[in-house]
Structure 1
């Protein structure tokens, strides 16, 4: 079986501190896979290894069967990997339609001259508008991004990742910091992502995890601690003890 994402013995050390230790994780094509763990579990380091921000100390990463362990961040994006961030990485002074049009123009190889072409390129504008409407941003696509409610900014970051037409999407805590009255838009949009896009979700919001995932992996102290279905993980007394904060006698 060819997995969308597969790590084998992936480890990362910073001096004498091992942030990730021998992590072997497989994400099936089309999966809705969640990665959870307590603060300090090594989730951010793991995502930075997957995306090429950090080189591993040991181990390998395969994407769609291809070894990408030493491939650059840009090379992984070209192969179909996209990500969001815990803290928004958006252009505050651009509007959503400008932001998404820029991403699409860059994807199509015309990003360096996007300001001359985007306004005249109906295909780029049409794709941008359609994507923003799917992400519940149609009513504010011309507003300055800095003025958008925080939940809408989170949706825009997901839309920005989707503008790359990814095969593999890494969502890093998309509901983090989103007010309660805006969370359902984020949850609905994540659940409505296309079936042909494999999603690895890193999240603390258990409502989102349990409603979205078909498989959950648990990291504890940098190592893979448990894996299973939503039912298996949600009822595992050991996981409850280390992650959900419940007192168990096991």
Structure 2
């Protein structure tokens, strides 16, 4: 099988601090795969290596069978790898309409003059409208992003990632910090992601993880502890020891 995303012996250390340890992951095409682990397990460091923010100390990263280990961030995006961030990376003074318009125009090669293109091309307008509706942002599409409820900001970041038309999407804790009353929209948006997009989810919310994932990898101290279907992972004594403090 050619995997959608694969790591081989991925290793990262900062001086004497070893953060990722000989990590080999295989994410199948179309998978709903979750990477979980306690605080400090190295999950975000893994994502940063996958996306090119951090250079691995050792190991390789393959996207659809092609080695991307040495590619910069923007070239990985062009190859079909997109992500969201644990802390929003949005333009606070733009509206959701403008933000998604910029993302769509950039993908189509017109990011430098996106403000001229918005409103002049029916195909771009239709995609912006469909994305706003899919992520429940129509009611706030003309509001400045900085004024949006936090749940709406998280939805907007997922919408921007999808506007890049990725084949592999990395979601870094999409529900983090979202008030309980707004979480249902996040859950619905993640559940409704297109099936032709392979998704790797990093999340602490176990309700979201077990309602979404068809396979789970458990990371502890930068190394893979357990991997398998959700029901097997939930019963594993090592996982219980990590999360519940029980004796394995």
Q: Normalising to structure 1: TM-score of the pair?
A: 0.97
Alignment partner of 2:60: what SS?
Answer: strand
Q: Distance in 1 between matches of 2:36 and 2:220?
A: 9
- Residue 245 of structure 1 corresponds to 244
Q: Distance in 2 between matches of 1:124 and 1:143?
A: 20
Q: CA deviation at 1:241?
A: 1.1
- Residue 168 of structure 1 corresponds to 168
- Residue 24 of structure 2 corresponds to 24
- Residue 39 of structure 1 corresponds to 39
- Residue 87 of structure 1 corresponds to 87
Q: CA deviation at 1:188?
A: 0.7
Corresponding residue pairs, total: 248
Q: CA deviation at 1:144?
A: 1.2
1:56 aligns with 2:56: yes
Q: Identify unmatched segments of 5+ residues in structure 2.
A: none
Superposed CA offset, 1:12-34 (max 9, x none) = 01111111010000000000000
- Residue 129 of structure 1 corresponds to 129
- Residue 13 of structure 2 corresponds to 13
Superposed CA offset, 1:152-201 (max 9, x none) = 11000000000000000000000000000000110011000000000000
Superposed CA offset, 1:135-159 (max 9, x none) = 1112211111111110011000000
Q: CA deviation at 1:119?
A: 2.8
**Alignment map for 1:196-235 (pairs within 5 Å):** 196-235=196-235
- Residue 119 of structure 2 corresponds to 119
Q: Normalising to structure 2: TM-score of the pair?
A: 0.98
Q: Distance in 1 between matches of 2:6 and 2:91?
A: 32
Q: CA deviation at 1:245?
A: 2.0
Q: Identify unmatched segments of 5+ residues in structure 1.
A: none
Q: CA deviation at 1:238?
A: 1.0
